[in-house]
Structures are given as C-alpha cells and as structure tokens.
Amino acid sequence: MAAARRLLALAALAAVLGLPACALLERGHPPLATATGVELERYLGTWYEIASYPNRFQRGCTGTTATYTRRDDGSIGVRNECDRDATRDGIDGRAWVAGDDPARLRVRFFWPLFAPYWILAVGPDYEWALVGTPDRDYLWILARTPTLEPATFDAIAALARARGFDPARLALTPQP
C-alpha cells in the first residue's frame, strides 16, 4: 500500500511539474509527425515497455506494462503497472483522442491535469509502437512481447532519431 501511495505521489508530482508543459509547445523543434492511419482498436491491449527516456514517475520500475481498453464512454482506459520494491504497482488513467488525429491522444491520471501521448509509429501488425511527446522530452518503445529483436529495436530507434529524438537517451526496461 505504501508503494502504491508513493507511485501516486510521484506521478502527481511529475504531472504537476513536467508533463503538462509538453502540451504547450514543441520548444523550437519542427512539428512532430505522428503515425498515419492509426486504428485505435488494434492499439488496445497490453504493451511491454522495451525502453524509455528515464523519468521521475517510473524511477525504479522493472517489468513495466501498459494496458489500454475501450471504456463505455468511448474513451480509453489506461492501466500502467511495474514491479518496484518487490511489489507490483500500478495506476489507472483515461485517454482520449485530441482533435481528429487518432495518433494524438491526451492521457489523464489526475484531474484536471493531462499530458500528450502521441503514437509516432507502429509496426505493420501492431507488434511494436514508438510513442513520445511533442516537446521530445518523453519517449517510449513498446512491444506486444517482453523483448524485441535487436534489428527491430535499431530500426525503431532510427525512426525516433528521424523525428528529432536522441536514441542515446533511451534506457532499456528490464522485463521478466
């Protein structure tokens, strides 16, 4: 229970101090292109975090997953979980499409704060995804399995670089 409270407190702090700023501007970068033709129904389900830019709210996490489900109101339920301090910890949120581009989502874990969640690229069978924020401060590589082939990882990292992200900042996420 203490771990869950700590995770919630860290996520709240991150939201207050960092993530909402992502929605304001892209800080001198060229506009960030998102994946074309994203089908959110195919995106739903569980994703394993393969790598990410290190951030405060995920510090100490291993075995990180994100599960997306369709909610009755049409929005998307978000369940993020990780192993931390020998406990499985998690937080629930909600996402919705921002405007008319289904690859541009807004995610909220604490009302009234929200953060951009942009799907930058997806594999042809939705077997992997590259997700980031328009200010390029946050980046995640996700997969439907706990590991990716090195060549696939390198190709996704190259896509990130082409969109103005620094792949050298990516930290691999230990998965069981």
Fold of 2-172: Lipocalin (2.40.128)
- Looking at the predicted structure, is the pLDDT value of residue 4 above 70? no
CA-based torsion, 153, 145, 87, 108: positive or negative: positive
- Looking at the predicted structure, is the pLDDT value of residue 2 above 90? no
Reported as a single tens digit per residue, the pLDDT across 156-173 is 999 999 999 999 999 999
Q: What is the mean pLDDT of residues 110-128?
A: 95
Q: How many CB atoms lie within 10 A of CB 72?
A: 6
Instruction: Report pTM.
Output: 0.83
pLDDT confidence band for 7 (50 / 70 / 90): very low
pLDDT confidence band for 85 (50 / 70 / 90): confident
Residues 6+ apart with CB under 8 A from 59: 10
Which residues lie across from 176 on neighbouring strands? none
Q: What percent of the chain has pLDDT over 90?
A: 75
